[in-house]
Amino acid sequence: MSLSTVIYSRLSGFAGLSALVGSRIYPNKLPQDPTFPAVRYQIIDEVPVHSMQTTSGMREARVQVDVFDPDYSDVTAVSDQVELALGRWTDLAADPVVHDVKLMDSARYYEDDIELERKRFDFLFIITV
């Protein structure tokens, strides 16, 4: 599997989140004319973790997750579930193995050009491939 597949499986299989968005969880970009609320995630980068002049086999991946909806309260409800699904999550049976997920940053926006509320999360995944 890929990290993208593992992320999708986690988000789509998290009961509280899937109750709010169903299958509207998309890698990289939203489809044209999407139904809201919707979640988009993208892997920003993935780099090896170095230890004592060698690579440890572990990697750090920065992942951005965005929640979109015209309604502020819907963005809040979905965002709460995203944070519960990914924050400090581990899955030692996944491929790649997810050792930890840390929330590094989040921010709210109103996107004037598309008239949507948006919450952005930046997560740091510690994985072994």
- Residue 44 CA to residue 85 CA, distance in Å, equals 19
Three-state DSSP class for 8?
helix
Separation in Å, CA 100 to CA 53, 96, 107: 23, 12, 21
CATH class given for the domain over 3-128: alpha beta
**Domain segments of the chain as ranges:** 3-128
Whole-model pTM above 0.85?
Answer: yes
Dump pLDDT digits (tens) for 45-62. Answer: 999 887 777 767 899 999
Dump pLDDT digits (tens) for 99-118. Answer: 999 999 999 999 999 899 99
Separation in Å, CA 13 to CA 7, 53, 59, 64, 107: 10, 39, 24, 19, 25
